[in-house]
Structure formats: C-alpha cells, structure tokens
Homo-oligomer: A and B are copies of this chain.
Amino acid sequence: MTATKYLSVIDKDGKVAKGKDPNLDAEELRRLYRVMVTTRVMDERALVLQRQGRIGFYVPATGQEASHIGSAYALRDSDWIFPSYRQPGIPLLRGAKIDHLIAEWYGYEGDICKGRQMPVHYSLRSIHFVSVSSPIGTQISHAAGCAMAMRMRKHDGVAMTYFGDGATSSNDFHSGLNFAAVYRAPVVFVCENNHWAISVPVSAQSGTEEMAVKAEAYGMPGVRVDGNDVLAVYRVCKEAVERARRGEGPTLVETVTFRMGPHSSSDDPSKYRDAATVEQWKRRDPIQRFQRYLQQRRLWNEAFEKECQESARATINEAIKRVEATNKPAPRTMFEDVYMTMPPHLQEQMQDLLSLEGPAAADEGAFPL
C-alpha cells in the first residue's frame, strides 16, 4: 500500500466526517449498494460457470466495485462510457438487460455482439456503453474524440473512460490525454490503479508511484482517490464531471484499489504476489465499507442484505437458464457486420462455407490468460 495521501470519505467504522458526505438520498444509496452486491454475485457465478466449462473465460472485478460504480454514478445516463473489461457493474447501474450480459459470456444468439468477442467484452449502445476492446488503452483516445465531438457540436454531454494502471503506459493514454487537454474536451479519465497489470506490479510499470501525477504532463488536473470508498469516488468524479460539463476541460482521476482475484479465469496470482498484501486489502473491501456506512445511516440490515443477495442470485440464475436454452449464432452471422452491406467477396466466402458437407472441426484449446 502506498504512502501517498488521497481522499477517503468513509472511515473504517462507516463514519463520514462532517462536510464530506455527498448526502445521497436513501433510495439512491440502497440502489448503489444493490448494484455493487449484484456485481459481486455475478463475478462469483461466472467464475463457477467458467470452472464448470460452461463458459470459456471470465474477468472478475471483485474488489473494484466502488471504483467503477461510484464513478459512473457521477454521470447522467446520456453521458458516454468508454470502458475496459473490468467495469461490469456499470451496465447493471445503467439498467442493462442481464440476459444481454450473460448471453455475451456464452456468445450465443442473444448476445448483442453475436458471439464475436470473448466474455465480458460487452457492447451496449442503448446505455451508451461503448464496445469493450481487448487491446489495452485504445478506448482512451476514443473517449477524447467523442468528447471533442460533443464540444464541437455544443452538446452538454461528458465522456468517461476507464483503464488500468498498466494502460497508462499505452500509446493511447498519451495521445488521448494530450488531445483532450489541447481541445479542452469534456472527458473524465478514470485510471483504476489496482496495483497489477497481470503479473507486473505498478513499480515495474511506471517511474511514479502515483498515476494521477501524470496529468501534469498534459496540463490537466489529476486527482487521487480511495477507490474502495464509493462515496469518495463519487465525490471526486462528480466534481470532474461538472468541470467537464462547464467546458473547463478534462480531469485524470486515479482510483486506488486492488484486484482481489486473478487477472482472469486463466491466471494464478499466487505465482507472483504474496497472500499478506491480499489479506490486507480484504479488510478494505468496498462493499463491506459501504455496508457499514449504510448501517450507520440505518439503511442496512440483515433482511435487506438477504434480499439483495437472493434477488441478485435469482436474477442471474434465471438469466443463465434462459441463455443456456439458446443456440450459437448461425454460421451466416460470421460474415455479417464486417461492412454495412456484405460485399460480393464475402458473399462468395459465405456460400463457400455454407455449402460444405461433413461435420465441422470441434472446439479446441483453452485460453491461457
């Protein structure tokens, strides 16, 4: 854990110092909590499905719920999100259909992406959640460009983009922040510093301990915040979002958090990090922290918890059942959406495949990462 200071709001007993509480109303607070719990439950279910061989791969976000849900909560629903693969709670926060998410894991018919991407690479246009890419960092300059467009068109939207500590080394981090600063684009860059890029620690990623300080290079404000404190994240991001909306330009927000699980279902973190640090961070669990706050405000009790957990589990399990009853996309779909209309050479290739006789090769291989 780093020595540098950053904003926290909820203390270890769930108390908030005067003047620091964003004073969200009861319904909203409970909704936030419910989304965080559902996100956690979804992670757990998915990892089980993966181990059972029912889905091929998964990327858990356990431990990072406050970071991405608190920040996204600072936006209007019409604002645009340019995510990485580690913000599964945002679709839940914005009311995406759970079936869409789970169909994506399976890559089945009901998947908006038509089985073209690996699990958790959601794309949900209806909630302005832009298609997740695997290449690290590419979404950062998209967010800058989208925000530049908003500004040119004099719209009052804001773009928010998410990426990890590893992504700060990418080409797109540099160009995205530079362009955003030069054009004063309304964008908030959220760097979720979870201390690891697969097996590479932050100390081997950057000459700086902090990520927020990188904002200096672009002449924009950089803010560091306790990423396991949903209210602190919300407060800091709310300010950054308002600043952007006022036309005052971009902000880099660093949420200091920790990747509690493996990088993905294929990773074994015990090979490269010690259990003690993980244990330390367990005590800072963002859901428990928020729970204590709600308890303080008498918005949480065992019954509410039970209801949250059970309804999350039920919703997810029912969706899994529905999705598992569907099929893989038809072979024809493999040739669609390369272009708006299918050009002759793809039609020919499609006919070629569809006219084939005999059984196709079986699936093979297991994903290592």
Contacts and interface: CB of A to CB of B under 8 A. Distances in A.
Contact of A174 (B173, B204, B216): B173
A206 B206 CA distance: 21
Interface string A316-334: 0000000000000000000
A70 to B, nearest CB: 25
A171 B175 contact: yes
A343 to B, nearest CB: 32
A86 to B, nearest CB: 22
Interface stretch (A207-215, A281-289, A301-309): A207-215
Nearest to A214: B217
Contact of A181 (B173, B178, B207, B249): B207
- Could you tell me the dominant secondary structure of chain A's interface residues? helix
Contact of A220 (B175, B178, B207): B207
This chain: copies in complex: 2
A215 B208 CA distance: 10
A300 interface: no
Contacts of A174: 169, 171, 173-174
Given A171-B175, A174-B171, A204 B182 contact: yes
Contacts of A173: 174
A112 to B, nearest CB: 32
Contact of A218 (B208, B218, B249): B208
Contacts of A215: 217
A205 interface: yes
Interface string A164-206: 0000010101110010011000000000000000000000111
Nearest to A219: B207
A218 B207 CA distance: 5
A223 to B, nearest CB: 15
Contacts of A214: 216-217
Interface of A: 169, 171, 173-175, 178, 181-182, 204-209, 213-220, 249
